[in-house]
C-alpha cells in the first residue's frame, strides 16, 4: 500500500506589505504578505519576475515549516490583480510605479477618489487637480509617467513572462523603445552586450524560453564572446586558443546538451576569418582577442614607441644646479635614487617612477613638478580616481583632476574630446596611481599626449593590478623599453610607521609585526584575533563602536572596512548590511528606498560600480547619500565637491560602501583601515592583496582574523598572471 505524499496546493490572496529580499538576477524573493481578515503577516518565498510593496497578488503554493524562520508560504505560481482596497491602492501608487507619486501623494489621491482612483488616473487624469497639493505641473508629470507605464506594459508582460525582472525590463525598454520585443526575439544574446547588469546567463535563459536551441550557432557565438568577456573581467586581454575552447565548452554545457570541442574550435577559426575575433600566432600557441582589445593593445604600443623615440633637448648641468638650489631652499636632501629620477624625468619623454611606501615617491614627484614649472612647462596632473587626484593636488600644490576629466569625456560621441587630432596642450603630464591604468584608459591617455610632451607615470608595482583588462604598469617595466626609476630606500621618518615597515616585510615574504588591539597602542598596525568569521564580524562591530572612537577616530567618516571578497560572512555583502545597521540605522528622519533587496538610506556611504560618463562618476568613486525623493524617484549622492542625481532605474550602478573589496580600494587612502582576513578567503589571499589593503591606511590599520590567514596571504605569491601582449609589442616583436 502506498500513500501520495505530494503536498496539496493552496491559494492566498492579499497585498505585499514589504520586500525582505529580492534578487534581480534570479527573481528569488522573501516578502511579507497581508491576507485579509488574518491578524499576522505571512512570509512568502518564491521566484517573482516583478514584485513591489502594495501589489495585490493571487498566489498558489504550499505551506512549509522552516527550522529557523517558522511557517512560510512557498509560492509556485502567482498573478497580479488590481488592488481592491484603499490600503492596497495607496501602497500600489506609492511603491515607485509612477514618477511623481510617492507615498504622501498616493495617500492624498486615494483619500480623495477612494476605489475609483485607478479609473480616474486612466480615464480622467485632469481630475487629479481636485486633490489638495497637486498642481498642473504634477498632473502632467503623472500623466506622462502613467502613459509610459502603459507603453511599456506590453514589453513588461512579454519579458516577465520569460523570466526577466522588472528592473531589467525597464532598462531593456529604455534601450530599445517600441522595438524591444522584436530586438529581444531576434537576438536575446544582444542584451548581454547592450545592457549593464544583464549577463550571458540571463540572456541564455531568455533565449531558451524563446525556443533557441542549445546547440545553435547563435548560442555558441555568444558563448565564445562571453568567455572572452569574463576573461577581460579577470584582467586578461586575450585567451590562448585551447583555453578559450575549454572554457567555452564548460560554459555552454547544460543538462541536456554538451558542446563538442571541435565544433567550438571550428567556430572560433571561422569567427577569426570573419574578423569577429583576431587570432594571432605566437611561437607557442594561438592567441584569441576580441578585435577592440587587439587593436587597442597594438596601437598603445605603437604610440608609446613613437613617444619614446622623440628626442628631448635638455641642459643636464643646468638641471643639477637647479636641484642644488631647490635642496638648499627646501632643506630636504634627495637620495641618489631620487636625484636620478628627477634627471631622467627632465631628459626623457616617458618615465615610470615606482617604489613602495616611505621610499619618497611623493617628494620625488613634487620635485619633478617644481622642476618642470621652473622650466616654463604647462603641467597637467591626474589620477584614475577622484581621491587619488585630490591627494596628488595636495602633495604638489597644483590642481589635479581625474583622468576622465582631464581627457574631457564627450557624451555625444561616448569618447574623449582629447585624442590624436585634439591633444592636450600640456607640455608635461603626471599620472599618479598608474598601477590602476587598464588597457583602454592607458591608450586614451597616450592618444591625447602631444608628441613633444613629457609623461611621468607614478605607481607602486607591488600593488594589485588594474580592475580593468591589462597590466599596463608592469608591462611597461618588464618590456625594458621604457625608462624606469625604482625607489627602494625607506626613509628614516617613514620607518617610524609600522604600516610602512610591515608593507615592506610582506613584500619580502616575511610575517608582519602586529600588536594586539588595545586602547593605548604603541603601533599604527594592530591585530584583533578572531578564530572564525562570525567572531570577526563581532570584533569589527566592537572596534567601530568602542575601540576606534576611543582612539580619536570617527567610525562613520574615518574608517573603511576592506575585505578580500564580496561573499561569505566577512565578505562585503554581509558586512555592508551589518555596518549599515550599526553606523546608519533606520530612523523616522531618514528617507530610504529598497532596490534589489538592498536598503539605501540617507547617510549611507556608496561606491560607484561602473564608469558613468554622463554623470562623470567612475568605477570605485565613493559618495554619501544626502537625499532620497520618493516622489521624483531620485537619490542625490555627494561625491567629493559635487552632488550627482540617480533615477531609481539606475541604482544598479551603485552599492553600499561601508565595506568594499581591497581591489575596489585602489587609488584611495583612509585614516583607518579594518582588514578582515580568514582562511575561508584562501582563493583570494595573496601577498599583493594584503600589501595593497594594508597600504590604504594612513594612520591606523587593524587586521581582524586568525594569524594563520595572515601567514597564508604572506606565503602566497600570486602575481595575478594576466594574458597581455603589451610588453612584447613594445619590445618590437611581431608575432603575426
Q: What is the sign, positive or negative, of the torsion defined by CA atoms of 503, 507, 508, 509?
A: positive
Cβ count near 547 (within 10 Å): 19
User: What is the torsional sign of CA 542, 706, 565, 726?
Assistant: positive
Residue 229 Cα to chain centre, angstroms: 16
**Residue 532: is it exposed, middle or buried by C-beta count within 10 angstroms (0-12/13-18/19+)?**
middle
| Annotated binding residue 596 | no
User: Is the separation of the CB atoms in 611 and 618 below 8 Å?
Assistant: yes
Residue-by-residue DSSP string for 115-167: GGHHHHHHH-GGGGGGSTT--HHHHHHHHHHHHHHHHHHHHHHHHHTTT--HH
CA–CA distance, 133 with 105 (Å, rounded to integer)? 8
Strands across the sheet containing 286-289: 239-240, 286-289, 278-281
What does the H/E/C string look like for 472-541?
Answer: HHHHHHHCCCCCEEEECCCCHHHHCCHHHHHHHHHHCCCCCCCEECCCCCCCCEEEECCCCHHHHHHHHH
Annotated ligand binding at 229? The verdict is no
Give which of 357, 321, 356, 311 is closest to 342, Cα–Cα: 321
362 marked as binding residue: yes
Using alpha carbons, select from 158, 41, 576, 358 the residue that is nearest to residue 31. 41
- Report how far apart, in Å, the C-alpha atoms of 319 and of each of 323, 329, 338, 428, 456 are: 6, 15, 14, 16, 17
Contact yes or no for 736/311 (Cβ under 8 A): no
CA distances from 732 to 449, 455, 577 (A): 21, 21, 51
Q: Going by DSSP bridges, is the β-strand pair 239-240/428-431 parallel, antiparallel, or unpaired?
A: unpaired
- Whether residue 359 is annotated as binding a ligand: the answer is yes
Instruction: Return d(Cα 394, Cα 70) in angstroms, integer.
Output: 57
Residue 150, marked binder? no
Number of H helices, E strands in the chain: 27, 29
The total of other beta-carbon atoms located within 10 Å of residue 202's CB is 21
Q: How many CB atoms lie within 10 A of CB 337?
A: 16
The CA distance from 429 to 75, in Å, is 60
* 316 burial level (CB within 10 Å; 0-12, 13-18, 19+): exposed
Q: Of 520, 430, 474, 512, which is closest to residue 713 (Cα–Cα)? A: 512
- Measuring CA to CA, how many Å separate 48 from each of 71, 78, 196, 210, 603? 20, 8, 21, 19, 30
> Are the CB atoms for 114 and 165 separated by under 8 Å?
no
Binding-site residues for ATP, in ranges, read: 358-362
Binding-site residues, in ranges, read: 358-362
Amino acid at each position: 500500500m502506498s500513500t501520495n505524499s505530494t503536498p496539496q496546493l493552496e491559494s492566498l490572496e492579499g497585498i505585499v506589505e514589504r520586500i525582505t529580499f529580492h534578487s534581480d538576477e534570479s527573481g528569488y524573493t522573501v516578502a511579507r504578505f497581508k491576507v485579509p481578515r488574518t491578524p499576522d503577516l505571512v512570509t512568502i518565498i518564491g521566484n517573482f519576475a516583478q514584485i513591489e510593496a502594495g501589489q495585490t497578488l493571487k498566489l498558489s503554493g504550499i505551506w512549509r515549516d522552516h527550522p529557523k524562520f517558522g511557517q512560510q508560504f512557498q509560492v509556485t505560481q502567482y498573478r497580479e490583480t488590481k488592488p481592491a482596497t484603499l490600503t492596497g491602492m495607496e501602497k500600489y501608487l506609492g511603491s515607485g510605479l509612477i514618477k511623481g507619486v510617492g507615498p504622501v501623494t498616493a495617500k492624498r489621491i486615494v483619500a480623495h477618489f477612494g476605489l475609483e482612483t485607478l479609473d480616474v488616473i486612466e480615464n480622467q487624469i485632469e481630475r487629479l487637480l481636485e486633490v489638495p497639493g497637486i498642481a498642473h505641473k504634477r498632473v502632467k508629470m503623472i500623466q506622462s509617467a502613467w502613459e509610459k507605464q502603459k507603453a511599456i506594459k506590453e514589453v513588461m508582460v512579454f519579458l516577465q513572462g520569460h523570466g526577466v525582472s522588472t528592473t531589467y525590463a525597464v532598462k531593456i525598454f529604455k534601450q530599445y523603445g517600441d522595438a524591444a520585443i522584436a530586438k529581444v526575439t531576434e537576438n536575446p544574446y544582444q542584451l548581454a552586450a547592450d545592457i549593464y547588469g544583464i549577463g550571458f546567463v540571463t540572456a541564455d535563459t531568455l533565449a531558451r524560453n524563446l525556443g533557441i536551441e542549445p546547440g545553435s550557432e547563435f548560442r555558441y557565438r555568444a558563448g565564445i564572446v562571453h568567455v572572452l568577456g569574463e576573461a577581460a573581467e579577470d584582467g586578461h586581454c586575450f585567451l590562448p586558443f585551447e583555453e578559450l575552447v575549454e572554457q567555452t565548452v564548460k560554459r555552454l554545457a547544460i543538462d541536456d546538451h554538451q558542446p563538442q570541442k571541435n565544433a567550438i574550435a571550428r567556430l572560433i577559426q571561422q569567427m577569426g576569418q570573419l574578423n569577429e575575433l583576431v587570432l594571432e600566432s605566437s611561437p607557442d600557441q594561438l592567441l584569441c582577442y576580441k578585435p577592440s582589445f587587439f587593436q587597442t593593445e597594438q596601437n598603445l604600443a605603437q604610440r608609446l614607441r613613437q613617444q619614446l623615440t622623440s628626442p628631448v633637448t635638455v641642459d643636464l648641468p643646468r638641471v643639477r644646479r637647479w636641484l642644488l638650489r631647490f635642496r638648499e631652499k627646501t632643506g630636504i636632501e634627495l637620495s641618489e635614487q631620487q636625484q636620478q629620477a628627477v634627471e631622467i624625468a627632465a631628459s626623457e619623454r616617458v618615465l615610470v617612477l615606482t617604489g613602495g611606501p616611505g621610499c619618497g615617491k611623493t617628494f620625488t614627484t613634487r620635485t619633478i613638478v617644481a622642476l618642470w614649472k621652473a622650466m616654463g612647462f604647462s603641467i597637467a596632473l591626474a589620477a584614475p580616481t577622484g581621491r587619488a587626484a585630490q591627494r596628488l593636488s595636495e602633495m604638489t600644490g597644483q590642481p589635479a583632476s581625474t583622468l576622465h576629466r582631464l581627457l574631457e569625456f564627450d557624451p555625444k560621441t561616448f569618447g574623449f574630446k582629447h585624442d590624436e587630432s585634439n591633444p592636450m596642450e600640456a607640455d608635461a603630464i603626471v599620472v599618479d596611481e598608474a598601477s590602476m591604468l587598464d588597457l583602454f584608459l592607458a591608450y586614451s591617455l597616450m592618444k591625447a599626449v602631444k608628441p613633444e610632451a613629457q609623461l611621468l607615470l607614478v605607481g607602486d608595482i607591488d600593488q594589485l593590478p588594474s580592475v580593468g583588462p591589462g597590466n599596463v604598469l608592469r608591462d611597461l617595466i618588464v618590456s625594458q623599453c621604457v625608462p624606469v626609476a625604482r625607489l627602494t630606500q625607506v626613509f628614516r621618518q617613514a620607518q617610524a610607521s609600522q604600516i610602512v615597515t610591515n608593507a615592506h616585510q610582506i613584500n619580502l615574504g616575511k610575517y608582519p609585526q602586529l600588536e594586539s588591539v588595545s586602547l593605548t597602542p604603541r603601533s599604527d598596525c594592530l591585530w584583533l584575533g578572531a578564530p572564525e568569521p562570525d567572531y570577526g564580524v563581532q570584533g569589527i562591530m566592537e572596534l567601530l563602536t568602542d575601540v576606534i572612537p576611543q582612539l580619536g577616530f570617527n567610525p562613520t567618516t574615518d574608517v573603511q572596512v576592506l575585505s578580500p571578497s564580496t561573499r561569505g560572512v566577512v565578505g562585503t555583502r554581509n558586512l555592508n548590511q551589518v555596518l549599515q545597521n550599526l553606523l546608519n540605522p533606520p530612523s523616522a528622519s531618514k528617507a530610504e528606498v529598497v532596490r534589489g533587496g538592498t536598503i539605501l538610506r540617507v547617510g549611507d556611504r556608496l561606491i560607484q560600480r561602473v564608469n558613468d560618463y554622463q554623470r562623470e562618476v567612475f568605477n570605485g568613486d565613493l559618495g554619501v547619500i544626502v537625499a532620497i525623493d520618493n516622489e521624483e524617484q531620485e537619490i542625490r549622492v555627494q561625491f567629493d565637491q559635487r552632488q550627482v542625481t540617480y533615477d531609481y532605474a539606475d541604482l544598479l550602478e551603485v552599492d553600499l560602501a561601508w565595506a568594499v573589496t581591497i581591489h575596489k580600494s585602489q587609488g584611495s587612502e583612509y585614516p583607518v583601515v579594518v582588514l578582515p582576513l580568514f582562511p575561508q578567503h584562501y582563493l583570494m589571499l595573496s601577498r599583493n592583496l594584503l600589501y595593497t589593503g594594508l597600504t590604504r591606511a594612513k594612520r591606523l590599520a587593524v587586521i581582524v582574523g586568525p594569524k594563520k590567514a595572515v601567514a597564508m596571504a604572506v606565503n602566497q605569491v600570486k602575481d595575478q598572471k594576466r594574458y597581455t601582449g603589451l610588453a612584447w609589442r613594445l619590445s618590437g616583436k611581431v608575432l603575426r
